[in-house]
Amino acid sequence: MPPTVAPAMFSLGCAQVDITPPLGVSLAGYFHDRVAARVRDPLYVRALVLATPDGDHADSIALVSMDLCAVTRLFVDEAKRRIHEELGIPPERVMVSATHTHTGPEHRESRWVPAATEWRDGLPERIAECVKRAAAGGFEGTLRPGSADVTGYAFNRITRLADGAEVFGPQSTDSYPLGPAGPVDPEMVTLAAVDMDGRLRALVVNFGLHVDVIGGGAADFVSADWPGEMAKAVSAVYGEDVVTIFLQGTAGDVNQNPYDPTFLPTGGPAKAVQLGRALAGAAMMASERAEPMANATLDAELLSLAIPYYTRDQAILDQAAAYRAKSQPTYFEHAFAEEVENWRYDGETAEVGVQCLRVGDVGMATFPGEVFTGLGLELKRWSPAGLTMPVTLANDAVTSYFPTTDQAERGGYGAMPILSRFLVADAGRRMVDAAGAALQRMWRTR
């Protein structure tokens, strides 16, 4: 029996623009310098512009994804200003996020890795160009939200020890490991843009899995990592002009390594290709069975939260001094001591931007850093949306990681003060609570 409610129609547009940097740039994602000697595969900025057929640009929403480790206001604010000025789309209705590839250029100001400032200065123009191309190439069509269970490809990388502490992976310690310290979210959420001929034109994919697979700490090449391979696999089926937009989920404590014996690849190019194919298959399965939405509501809200930075105490200063005194400190110990000694934010407060979007039946909440999985699951649990996309590394990079409140003091990477956690222990919960309240307003009161 056919549905009794007609699908909602949208004015849609999608585009992608090459942002591959020149050779010789330093790569982002580690506490040491890695220089790009070659390009394995190109980097892109990709965009999907959504509007109702009778709406104007002021009511549009633009979803932008970039093959970068992170995005910052050093270029995002200017890109949004240009988009607003040239297209009329308000900044709060433009979402710019990073896939989190660790084989893209470093553009942030860092003591560890030199920033590609000249290349970075050209990003606002390229982002705006991509969104303008998408808006100019508009077509009428439907949006189809879908989901799939993707178990067996993402694993919690933080290990709980018998003494209550937590470490990155099953490291050798004075205590013994009990198992993964947190959950994995196996749900992939998709949003397919389909034209009036039934042809897929763009595919938005939201899934929580770290994008540090293809090269690791020894990488000397530029690559989009497994999201690039996923885009290739989708295009191989639907056509080269299909735009695949990956929105990173809550993966601050998740990676691709099961840490158990396996004959399958656990890292490097072979693993990136395997993940790209597998996750493309899951995304295609989800979108092929997805019904078009009947609700055409487009809404946005941008929140600014005042959250204190972590402030050093004597204990952390003593810990840094102890690491510094060791004859052979580990990689993390050396980095920890350097960061603690040079910390500049004692007693200060960060302005943390949280953006929430409604696209019909789909809710999106964006966060400016890497969020632990438990927080993303909490957001989904209380969300009023039919499907919810938690999107991390979006619009800014106020801090590196947002662990759950109970994990923030247990020592695992992502929870380590100053090295990987810049704000107070409760910052992640504050963001998720604010995002959840904004989504409730969008569904209940508008």
pLDDT category at 408 given cuts 50, 70, 90 is: very high
Asked if residue 15 and residue 162 are part of one domain, the reply reads yes
Section 355-368 average pLDDT: 98
The reported pLDDT for the residue numbered 54 is: 81
Within a domain: 285: yes
Closest CA to 150 of 91, 86, 230: 230
Asked if residue 422 and residue 284 are part of one domain, the reply reads yes
Report the percent of the chain where pLDDT is more than 90. Answer: 89
Asked if residue 319 and residue 275 are part of one domain, the reply reads no
SS (H, E, C) the chain: CCCCCCCCCEEEEEEEEECCCCCCCEECCCCCCCECCEECCCCEEEEEEEECCCCCHHHCEEEEEECCCCCCHHHHHHHHHHHHHHHCCCHHHEEEEECCCCCCECCCCCCCCCCCHHHHHCHHHHHHHHHHHHHHCCEEEEEEEEEEECCCCCEECEEEECCCCEEECCCCCCCCEEEECCCCCCEEEEEEEEECCCCEEEEEEEECCCCCCCCHHHCCEECCHHHHHHHHHHHHHHCCCCEEEEEECCCCCEECCCCCCCCCCCCHHHHHHHHHHHHHHHHHHHHHCCCCCCCCCEEEEEEEEEEEECCCCHHHHHHHHHHHHCCCCCHHHHHHHHHHHCCCCCCCEEEEEEEEEEECCEEEEEECCEECHHHHHHHHHHCCCCEEEEEECECCCCCCEECCHHHCCCCCCCCCECCCECECCCHHHHHHHHHHHHHHHHHHCC
The reported pLDDT for the residue numbered 39 is: 98
Within a domain: 108: yes
Asked if residue 282 and residue 173 are part of one domain, the reply reads yes
pLDDT category at 2 given cuts 50, 70, 90 is: low
The reported pLDDT for the residue numbered 400 is: 84
Identify the residue whose tokens are 């009990």.
178
pLDDT single digits (tens) 35-83: 999 999 999 999 999 999 887 777 999 999 999 999 999 899 999 999 9
Asked if residue 153 and residue 67 are part of one domain, the reply reads yes
d(CA 337, CA 264): 36
Within a domain: 4: no
Cβ contact 127:91 at 8 Å: no
The reported pLDDT for the residue numbered 327 is: 92
pLDDT(313) > 70 = yes
pLDDT(147) > 90 = yes
Within a domain: 255: yes
Total of domains in the chain: 2
Within a domain: 228: yes
Cβ contact 326:439 at 8 Å: no
Mean pLDDT of the residues in the chain: 95
Label residue 11 exposed, middle or buried (CB < 10 Å: 0-12, 13-18, 19+).
Answer: middle
Asked if residue 332 and residue 282 are part of one domain, the reply reads no
Report the percent of the chain where pLDDT is more than 70. Answer: 99
pLDDT category at 246 given cuts 50, 70, 90 is: very high
Return all residues near 284 (Cβ < 8 A) that are at least 6 apart: 234, 237
pLDDT single digits (tens) 151-169: 999 999 999 999 999 998 8
Asked if residue 330 and residue 209 are part of one domain, the reply reads no
The reported pLDDT for the residue numbered 257 is: 94
Within a domain: 3: no
The predicted model scores a pTM of 0.96
Domain that holds residue 418: 10-305+348-444
Section 327-350 average pLDDT: 93
Within a domain: 1: no
Asked if residue 218 and residue 335 are part of one domain, the reply reads no
Within a domain: 2: no
Asked if residue 317 and residue 362 are part of one domain, the reply reads no
What's the length of the chain? 446
Asked if residue 77 and residue 42 are part of one domain, the reply reads yes
Asked if residue 236 and residue 285 are part of one domain, the reply reads yes
pLDDT category at 389 given cuts 50, 70, 90 is: very high
Residues β-bridged to residue 300 = 357
Asked if residue 426 and residue 329 are part of one domain, the reply reads no
pLDDT single digits (tens) 285-295: 999 999 999 99
Section 93-100 average pLDDT: 98
Structure tokens at 400: 């590196």
